[in-house]
């Protein structure tokens, strides 16, 4: 019997995906549950598993091709058996018929098989397009994984290397503009936008077109939080097994401020305002495949240690491309930290249907006036972008002032956060 391989349900509101790669090829024998191919959606990557054992009879859709839920990708012939191999007995001359898979298992147990090269999906796609052997690329990613930047660096340093897109550009332009072809040789590379990058572009533009986005700023003295972390970080790490970062302080501060100013924890649905009395805080992470915003659920009920564990796990998953849809769906408010990249100030774009986002920035030593004296303090610019359709300027400014108060006196987070 032939069973079709179809694009499975990918989650609410997710209707399309892009084929990243086929793990199995035509003629391969697969067992039920084996990963056959990988898909990329606007939110997360998916592994499509075999629903039955058999031989992969056909592959109908190619890598980098866009597909929709329910599309047929290929087929499995469940009546076909694993390929066999006749193995002679060296002692008595008899023969034994064994499935080749069994022989592979035996080899694995008695011979050292080189471990599979770890690489992110984006890195694998670029390597395939440019015919790059990943074993020659120096990995710098978490878990000794090859990243997109590693492949690009290898491509740039390889002598005499030209990309497929450059060859195509050169062949076209050489007929019309020979001198331009020579000028731009080895200076450009054309890569198709990933589905996630396309989705990010679309959603950010939609946010600008539909919401009335304004941004207000304030400056926060980080002395108290920094000193508290210095005093407690070793004890915290020993007790909870995770570092005490700034994120947990700001998550707790946001929860405290959102309780005081509920408009920033709401959303607009048609002509109604939906107020939410739960606090699911999204934390923006700049992953290799593009920006992702995993959500810390019920942040008001979590301890500092639980929040730090969530943030650490999300960061690891974002690098591995293993974030699930459930971890990315929803969220009532978002925090983004451009300071980790050195940003001094920015105007973040809200994440619809949310109506507020807090932007954190680099911490710099600055002279300020404190109690009538000029002192040097670690200062951070904080930005709140908000949807003016539902949030007035007064509430936005007061919300950010509340964040400032809670961070500058972090002990109050135990009471108000």
Residue 393 counted as domain residue: yes
Q: Residue 97: what pLDDT?
A: 56
The answer, yes or no, to whether residue 316 has pLDDT greater than 60, is: yes
In the predicted structure, residue 113 carries a pLDDT above the cut 50: no
Residue ending a domain, choose from 77, 106, 137: 77
Does the pLDDT of residue 2 top 80, yes or no? yes
**Average of per-residue pLDDT across 372-394:** 96
* pLDDT at residue number 170: 46
Report the pLDDT value the prediction gives residue 112, as an integer from 0 to 100.
Answer: 37
- Taking CA atoms, 247 is separated from 163, 276, 304, 310, 334, in Å, by 41, 22, 9, 11, 12
Q: What percent of the chain is predicted at pLDDT more than 90?
A: 44
Q: Is the pLDDT of residue 184 over 90?
A: no
Of 13-17, 100-104, 194-198, 309-313, the one with minimum mean pLDDT is 100-104
The pLDDT tens digits of the residues spanning 250-295 come to: 999 999 999 999 999 999 998 899 999 999 999 999 877 778 899 9
pLDDT at 253: 96
Model pLDDT for residues 393-404, shown as the tens digit of each residue:
999 999 999 999
Domain of residue 13, CATH code: 2.40.50.100
Kindly provide the residue ranges of all beta strands, DSSP E only, lying in 222-327, ordered along the sequence.
Answer: 266-269, 272-275, 281-283, 285-287, 290-292, 295-296
Question: Is pLDDT above 80 for 134?
Answer: yes
What pLDDT sits at residue 45? 77
Scan for tokens 């005081």, then name that residue. 260
CB environment 389-416: b (16+ within 10 A), e (fewer): ebbeeebbeebbebbbebbeebeebeeb
Domain with 329 in it? 212-416
Q: Residue 115: pLDDT above 50?
A: no
The residue from 77, 99, 130 where one domain ends is 77
Asked whether residue 120 is assigned to any structural domain, the reply reads no
Return the number of other C-beta atoms located less than 10 Å from residue 266's C-beta: 23
- Supply the pLDDT for residue 296: 97
Average pLDDT for the chain: 83
At residue 69, the pLDDT reads 86
The pLDDT, as a whole number, for residue 359 is 97
79-88, 210-219, 286-295, 325-334: range with lowest mean pLDDT: 79-88
168 falls within a domain:
no
Q: Is the pLDDT of residue 386 over 50?
A: yes
Residue 9 placed within a domain: yes
Which one of 46, 77, 108 terminates a domain?
77
The token pair at 149 is: 């930047």
Examine the residue annotation and report whether 409 is marked as an active-site residue of this protein.
Answer: no
305 domain residue, yes or no: yes
Residue 37 lies in a domain: yes
Q: Quick one: pLDDT band at residue 107, thresholds 50, 70, 90?
A: very low
Q: What's the length of the chain?
A: 417
Tell me the range of 8-17, 71-80, 146-155, 378-387 where mean pLDDT is highest: 378-387
Domain harbouring 225, CATH code: 3.30.559.10
Which position among 66, 234, 326, 392 bears the catalytic label? 392
pLDDT at 108 over 90: no
Residues 40, 22 contacting (CB under 8 angstroms): no
Question: Whole-prediction pTM value?
Answer: 0.64
Q: Which string of b and e fits 152-177 if b means at least 16 CB within 10 Å?
A: bebbeeeeeeebeebeebbeebeeee
- Can you tell me the distance from the alpha carbon of 95 to that of 78, in angstroms, rounded to the nearest whole number? 27
Same domain for 408 and 264? Answer: yes
pLDDT confidence tier of residue 161, bands split at 50, 70 and 90: low
What average pLDDT does the segment 361-365 reach? Answer: 95
Q: Stretch 343-367: mean pLDDT, rounded?
A: 94
- Residue-level pLDDT at 415: 63
234-245: pLDDT as tens digits: 999 999 999 999
Question: Quick check: is 195 in a domain?
Answer: no
Q: Is 392 a catalytic residue?
A: yes
Number of domains into which the chain is organized:
2
Mean pLDDT of 314-336: 88
The pLDDT value recorded for residue 380 is 96
Average pLDDT over residues 136-159: 78
């Amino acid at each position: 019997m032939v069973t079709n391989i179809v694009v499975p349900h990918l989650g609410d509101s997710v209707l399309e995906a892009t084929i990243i790669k086929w793990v199995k090829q035509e003629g391969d024998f697969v067992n039920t549950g084996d990963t056959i191919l990988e898909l990329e959606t606007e939110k997360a990557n998916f592994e499509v598993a075999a629903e039955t054992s058999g031989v992969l009879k056909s592959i109908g859709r190619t890598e980098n091709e866009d597909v929709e839920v329910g599309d047929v990708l290929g087929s499995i012939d469940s009546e076909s058996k694993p390929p066999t191999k006749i193995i002679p007995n060296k002692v008595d001359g008899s023969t034994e018929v064994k499935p080749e898979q069994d022989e592979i298992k035996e080899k694995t147990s008695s011979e050292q098989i080189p471990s599979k090269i770890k690489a992110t999906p984006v890195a694998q796609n670029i390597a395939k397009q440019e015919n790059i052997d990943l074993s020659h690329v120096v990995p710098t990613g978490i878990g000794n994984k090859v990243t997109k930047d590693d492949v690009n660096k290898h491509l740039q340093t390889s002598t005499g290397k030209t990309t497929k897109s450059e060859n195509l550009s050169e062949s076209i332009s050489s007929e019309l503009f020979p001198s331009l072809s020579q000028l731009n040789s080895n200076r450009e590379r054309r890569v198709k936008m990933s589905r996630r990058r396309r989705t990010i572009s679309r959603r950010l533009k939609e946010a600008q077109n539909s919401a009335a986005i304004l941004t207000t700023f304030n400056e926060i003295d980080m002395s108290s939080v920094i000193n508290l972390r210095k005093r407690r970080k070793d004890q915290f790490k020993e007790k909870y097994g995770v570092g005490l970062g700034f994120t947990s302080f700001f998550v707790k501060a946001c929860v405290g401020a959102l309780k005081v100013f509920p408009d920033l924890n709401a959303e607009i649905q048609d002509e109604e305002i939906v107020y939410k009395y739960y606090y699911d805080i999204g934390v923006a992470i700049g992953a290799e495949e593009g920006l992702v915003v995993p959500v810390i659920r019920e942040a008001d009920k979590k301890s500092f240690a639980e929040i730090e564990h969530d943030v650490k796990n999300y960061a690891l998953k974002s690098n591995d491309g293993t974030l699930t849809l459930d971890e990315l769906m929803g969220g009532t408010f978002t925090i983004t930290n451009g300071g980790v990249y050195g940003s001094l100030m920015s105007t973040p774009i809200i994440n619809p249907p949310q109506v507020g986002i807090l932007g954190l920035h680099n911490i710099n030593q600055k002279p300020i006036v404190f109690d009538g004296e000029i002192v040097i303090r670690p200062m951070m610019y904080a930005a709140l972008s908000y949807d003016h359709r539902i949030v007035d300027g007064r509430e936005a400014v007061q919300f950010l002032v509340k964040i400032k108060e809670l961070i500058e006196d972090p002990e109050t987070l135990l009471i108000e956060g």
